[in-house]
Amino acid sequence: MGTTEKTIKIDEPTARLVDDLAYLFRSTKKSIVRDAMLEFAAARRPERELAATEGRVTIDSLTLRERLALRRPELLREFARNDATEVRVFELDVADAEPVLLVVTDVVAGNGVEVILEEVARGILLMPIEVISMTRMRLRTPERLPELYARSRPL
């Protein structure tokens, strides 16, 4: 079976990086892109074997756990850009409830940061997500924090 070459479009900074890496490793740009894509896929492989499913798999067909496994680095990076750290997933008792992420936020950011983080998470995971600031809870209702912390796990 022969291979078919296809052109892909990338932005200028990424193209320069591919050029630099190809030069540094004395390799071709094609092999740099191929290796990067294989590493990207291996690092973000969802828990279940996607190849075993029929047809193409989309993010809409994945469970929350699989979406989080697949998009974890991106979610953590975007939350960090909004000064949110220590991201935790709250374990819900009800299967159809909206997923909840607990985060430590910057005190100065105030309550509005939760809405921003919900939008960020919704854009990455493509599903409704509730974000609760553990910083806000520590200030307003500290008695609830140990229970929420105990019923959550690190992302």
Q: How large a percentage of the chain has pLDDT more than 90? A: 34
Residue 101: both structure tokens together: 């992420």
pTM comes to: 0.66
Q: What's the burial of 153, exposed, middle or buried (CB within 10 Å: 0-12/13-18/19+)?
A: exposed
Tally of CB atoms within 10 A around 78? 16
* Strand partners for 116: none
Q: What is the pLDDT along the chain (155 residues), one digit of tens a residue?
A: 556 788 888 899 999 999 998 888 888 888 888 888 877 776 666 544 454 455 667 777 788 888 888 888 889 999 999 999 999 998 766 666 788 999 999 888 767 899 999 999 999 998 899 999 999 889 899 999 898 889 999 98
In this structure, is the dihedral angle defined by the CA atoms of residues 16, 17, 18 and 19, taken in order, positive or negative? positive
